[in-house]
Amino acid sequence: MKKHDYKFFDNYFISFLPLENIMPIRNKNVKKPNIVILFADDLGYGDLGCYGATKIPTPNVDSLAKKGLKFMDVHSSSAVCTPSRYSLLTGRYCWRTELKKWVIGGYGAPLIPRERPTIASFLGDNGYRTAAIGKWHLGLWWPLKEGVKGPEAYNINRLGFELDCDYSKPIKGGPNELGFNYFFGIAGSLDMHPYCYIENDHTVGIPDHYKEVLCNQQRKGLTTDNWKDEEVDIKCTEKSIAFIEDHLENHSDKPFFLYHATAAPHRPCEVRPDFVINKSQAGDRGDMVVLFDWVVGQIKDTLEKHDLMQNTLLIITSDNGARLQCANGKTYGHKSCGELKGQKADIWEGGHREPFIIIWPSVLKPNTTCHQLMCLSDLFASISGIFGKELPDNAAEDSFDLSSIFLGEQNENKIRDTIIHHSGGGIFSIRQGKWKLIQGLGSGGFSRPRKRKSYFWRPKGQLYDLEKDFKETNNLWKERPDIVKKLTDLLEKQIEQGFTREKKNK
């Protein structure tokens, strides 16, 4: 056995096991797995016990991490919600679309066109029954009332505006047109209106009156009768369990794909249900992380109850980094992004490095760790690689095939060496190996300074050696002009050519 390589990270030691210690045999007899992605909202790199948290109990995620493969260098393509979700489902950087910064509002127009392949449409074409449950946040064509102007009434990312809708009519451009057989959830975040559930292409009830009580940072907007913020993740979890059980009863000849995106632990954190209140030592936001762990436990228990866990590929991850403070401005001594610099929306590591755990008991050796560089956009190509299928040139252009790791095969090679990151405010960075270049000064997101002018005595951007300086404290921009030029040229090339993964005949 090779000697383990130990590094100090997030206040504890991590054993970086060589990849050949992951079960090195492809089981040709394994049938197509069920695939479940549990996608948290604003869950940080330091929020889970298995990643070093001590003030928030996450027993369900932690127990699953011991049964699977935990990644230490996985990133969202952007540091905010909508673009990260776009990249996960399409395998493409979101800044290649019209959304160049921040996110879509609850009434925003669809970001994914019907003709673009998604993980769901790919799996549907390969015999899967598919469901998206929970937070969508990728835009919808809401049905407008008679006489209201068409698509020009929409805006891709205005957060506060409201459309004059006829809520009795079908909603278009949503999950059902992008490969999902079933959808139940909400249009955006819990701080965005309309405050209503959507099932497939209709609202559940009619949003016909304004929400009377607005919680922290919630926007004024329409809601339905009996809407309760604190019930959203509970009801969505019930729907996911019902989808699994209905699948077993009526579609057991097929595998299923479940994309479950929680509202927790995103704000407003004070709307947490009673059974998680004061369950953490990290305030209301910490309790919302406990709620996410509860959701994971409910899905895990359902899979185990029906003997599905053994051949289910279960993925637990998050859309971007966490906010460093709770709604009341306190941290309670909890480091939601671990020892990383920055937070949600920032171009620094705290904005986009994610917890990422894979559990597939019939294939992967338990309690293993991997430090392969990965982007959430890589899920598309990796899932296709599990089936031995090559993606066409017009799909998942920024997705790399990591299926050899997902399948537990020996792999000594670096599969992905570069990632382009994008802050909430639109600052670009590129990572190659240990080097990370940022095109500008400041966070580009929520942390101060957000932007800094580059006077002649200051560097024009930021350059960090993450191997020696994972906290991004020592800017080497002026000391290493060779690396600055190399990475700047590479970033410009990848932006211009429209893809990053290797393509046929290119």
CA distance 415 to 385: 13
- Checking if the pLDDT of 152 tops 70, the result is no
55 has pLDDT over 70: yes
Distance CA 138, CA 117 (A): 15
Backbone angles phi, psi at 119, to 5 degrees: -55, -40
State pLDDT tens for residues 261-303.
999 999 999 999 999 999 999 999 999 999 999 999 999 999 9
Question: Can you read off the two tokens belonging to residue 468?
Answer: 């020696």
Say what the pLDDT of residue 157 is: 61
What pLDDT sits at residue 216? 86
pLDDT at 437 over 70: yes
Helix locations, 229-357, DSSP H: 232-250, 283-305, 349-352
Q: Is the pLDDT of residue 14 over 80?
A: no
At 17 the pLDDT is: 33
| SS3 assignment, position 428 | strand
3-state secondary structure 15-68: EECCHHHCCCCCCCCCCCCEEEEEEECCCCCCCCHHHCCCCCCCHHHHHHHHCC
Q: With 0.75 as the threshold, say if the pTM is over it.
A: yes
Q: What percent of the chain has pLDDT over 90?
A: 81
Classified as helix, coil or strand, 301 is helix
Contacts for 82 with CB less than 8 Å, ≥ 6 apart: 94, 99, 102, 103, 104, 111, 137, 138, 139, 157
**CB neighbours of 40 closer than 8 A, spacing ≥ 6?**
262, 264, 265, 292, 316, 317, 318, 319
Rounded mean pLDDT, 208-234: 95
Amino acid at 202: H
**Is residue 223 within 8 Å of residue 195, measured between CB atoms?**
yes
Residues 382 and 119: their CA atoms lie apart, in Å, by 10
Q: How far is CA 324 from CA 49, 208, 209, 331, 433, in A?
A: 17, 36, 34, 7, 27
Comparing CA positions, the residue from 150, 123, 143, 83 lying closest to residue 344 is: 83
Whether residue 280 contacts residue 56, with contact meaning beta carbons closer than 8 Å, is answered with yes
pLDDT tens digits, residue range 93-139?
999 999 999 999 999 999 999 999 999 999 999 999 999 999 999 99
Q: What is the mean pLDDT of residues 225-237?
A: 97
pLDDT in tens, 383-429: 999 998 888 888 999 999 999 999 988 555 678 999 999 999 999 99
- Give the Cα separation of 458 and 475 in Å (integer): 11
The answer to whether 381 and 400 are in contact (CB under 8 A) is: yes
Would you kindly state where each structural domain of the chain is located, as residue ranges?
Answer: 31-413, 421-497
Q: Cβ distance 133 to 260 under 8 Å? A: yes
**Rounded Cα distance, 69 and 19, in Å:** 10
DSSP string, 53-115: -SSS--HHHHHHHHTSEEEEEEE-SBSSHHHHHHHHHHSS-GGGSS--SS---TTPPPSS-TT
Q: Which three-class secondary structure state does DSSP give residue 413?
A: coil
Beta-carbon contacts of 71 under 8 Å, excluding residues fewer than 6 positions away, are 356, 357, 358, 369, 370, 371, 372, 374
* DSSP result, 432-461: ETTEEEESSSS-SSSSSPS-----TTS-SS
Which pLDDT does position 320 carry in this prediction?
A: 98
CA distance from start to end of the chain? 40
| Residue that the structure tokens 């505006």 belong to | 161
The CATH class that applies to domain 421-497 reads alpha beta
Q: Round to whole Å and give the CA distance between 21 and 307.
A: 27
* Joined tokens for residue 186: 């909400």
Mean pLDDT, to the nearest integer, of 242-266?
97
Strand partners, 34: 312
316 phi/psi in degrees, rounded to 5: -120, 120
Q: What is the CA radius of gyration of the chain?
A: 22
The CATH code of domain 31-413 reads: 3.40.720.10
